[in-house]
Chains A and B, each alone.
Chain A
Amino acid sequence: MYKTPDGKEIFVLDGHVHFWDGSPENQANVHGKQFIDCFYAYHTNLSPEDQLWEKAKFEKYSEEDIYRDLFVDGPDDMAIIQTTVLRDFYKEGFGCLERSHEMAKRHPERFIVNGSFDPRDGEKALEYIHWMKETFDIKGVKMYTAEWNGGSKGWALNDPAAYKCFELCDKLGIRNIHVHKGPTIIPLSKDAFSVDDVDYAATDFQNLNWIVEHCGLPRLDDFCWIATQETNVYAGLAVAMPFIHSRPRYFGEVMAELLWWVGEDKILFGSDYAIWTPQWLVEKFWNYQIPEDISAERSGVQLTDAIKEKILGLNAAKLYDVDVEAMKTQLAGAPVQIAAE
């Protein structure tokens, strides 16, 4: 719950958090080391200085850390944990469904844990989707189209094998497909993070919601174009958010484009924890206004309080069938537990 300066309580559903193990013990090779090092550079580059973590904590943080950073020190009411396996880089995987689920079951009312699959696994991917649904009743998945798999350095959402998987998701009611379309952090054919495949997949799977994480940056214009054509395409703000601190005017330009093209009902807040923590992001976001000259270029679009409230939680709540009022009451009855240390 974020409490505004004038006392209003804002429901925060953090659409993009991780529970990872990037520690040296878990790294399978140099790529695993370089992957967490790259995340750490994101953290050190775009965080306010007083929010910086030491490397060892960043590589592997505890169940207590995530709970405290999101819900005790942070304003999140609920958080969606995204799975990023990276099994070619990490012995036990980087962010795994099982490990996240073990952590989350201590506070089931707080977490939504999403799965993940790799369509290139063929029949096994389909079996795995069944297993994830039956075992964990997942409501969504995170897709990482640039993940390596043997000789392959990436795949597209409209590959035939992927379509089989999405057909199954549709059938099983796994409706939220989060797609990483963001900065190039894995080597790949040049198009692995192109957003064109979202266009095909979103058209062909109208029952599924396509949440494009990192709002397609650095291909914001392509993404906006697609999102205006498709009613079921959403923008996730992870990685765009921290620019609010380091380059606030730039953040304003991105928000103006998104509000103009994609619209206030289809933008989702995400902290990308543990790269960044939600406390400072939400606070700065609530106090942020798009600079007037930038807003004027887009017919005066602005981040009003009502729009901020949608972005911070209400939009994601709709996608995940969270009854916000009921959840507020439930959480008020079970306030955050601060573990004795």
Chain B
Amino acid sequence: MFIATLKAECELEVWDCLSAVSDPELDEPITDMDFVQSVEVSEDLFVRVEFRLPTYWCSPNFAFLMAFGIRSEVMALPWVRGMTVHLRDHCFGDEVNDGVNSGRPFHEIFAESCGGAVLNEVVETFMAKAFDRRQEALLLALRAEGRSDAAITAMTLAALKRVRFTGPEELRQLPRYLELLAVKGLAPGGDAPAFPTWDGERIAPDGLQAHMGRLRSTRINMEFNGALCRGLGATRYKEVAIGPEGPTLVDFIAGRVPPREATDAGR
């Protein structure tokens, strides 16, 4: 018998696993961005996830990547018997939903729907950007500690793991950086340099300044998207009411993200 507490536990487990899915353009977990709207587990252990993006116009290939990510993560939970993903309020919503729930290989659906784009290449492009951003956070922190460019470029993976970071951004990014190093095989042992480029090149001490200029450019682009996405996501379902105190923003969609009581009231 599927009792309410078990259902709630299963749903929490799904929420947890969804934090492994990132917005590819922003390199932020979709759960932190409040994209996931609802998770439901049925008595026969089928999962239904609804998500929503900051605008109706968000690029469809990002929407596909997130939908694929949601499906992969949820299906990897051992108890899940099946699942469906539903993208809401999006100009490509039907295509994304039909594609991701069709059971066909992701690369086929992606190529068909995104003008022949090659899934692996797009994923790799975004991983490279995520790598730059995570690396920059650590490099900035190390420089702020007063370490020289020579010391930083010579630092090994083992030495990086011993650094006691204190700032929230570098603490958050360190495990995420190490994860990408491992995925790409960029630092094969403890004595390998901790800060290679994404292409596996070593950075010379006198090349660090230029390298960081490039990382900064990546971050400026990603932050533009990030700031817009967060903001647009926050105001997408709001309107202005002019009261005696002047204008204020009023939410006109009730019940977002858990705990979620109302369902799309007011829409």
Contact = CB atoms under 8 A, between A and B. Distances in A.
Interface in A165-218: 183-190, 217-218
B60 interface: yes
Most chain A Cβ neighbours within 10 Å, of B91, B218, B234:
B91
A52 B247 contact: yes
A175 B120 CA distance: 42
Interface stretch (A39-47, A116-124, A127-135): A39-47
B56 A221 contact: no
28 contacts: A34-B55, A34-B56, A34-B91, A38-B55, A41-B55, A41-B232, A49-B249, A50-B246, A50-B247, A52-B247, A53-B247, A183-B225, A185-B57, A186-B57, A187-B59, A189-B117, A190-B59, A190-B114, A218-B221, A218-B222, A218-B225, A221-B218, A247-B223, A247-B227, A250-B224, A250-B227, A253-B216, A297-B213
A38 to B, nearest CB: 5
A41 B227 CA distance: 13
A97 B246 CA distance: 34
Interface in B96-116: 114-115
A6 interface: no
A216 to B, nearest CB: 9
Given A253-B216, A254-B220, A41 B60 contact: no
Interface of A, secondary structure class, is helix
Contacts of A297: 213, 216
A120 to B, nearest CB: 16
B257 interface: no
Interface of B: 25, 54-61, 91-92, 114-115, 117, 122, 213-214, 216-218, 220-225, 227-228, 231-232, 234-236, 238-242, 246-249
B221 A38 contact: no
Interface of A: 31, 34-35, 37-38, 40-42, 44-46, 49-55, 183-190, 217-221, 224, 243, 246-247, 250, 253-254, 257, 297
B221 A187 contact: no
B224 A45 contact: no
Contacts, number: 112
B53 to A, nearest CB: 11
Contact of A45 (B61, B216, B225, B231): B231
A222 B165 CA distance: 33
Contacts of A253: 216, 220
Nearest to A214: B224
B115 to A, nearest CB: 4
Given A41-B55, A243-B227, A190 B61 contact: yes
Contact of B249 (A52, A183, A220): A52
Most chain B Cβ neighbours within 10 Å, of A34, A51, A219:
A34
A217 B221 contact: yes
Contacts of B248: 49, 52
Contact of B220 (A31, A54, A220, A246): A220
A219 B129 CA distance: 12
Nearest to A247: B227
A53 B240 contact: yes
A190 B117 contact: yes
B96 to A, nearest CB: 11
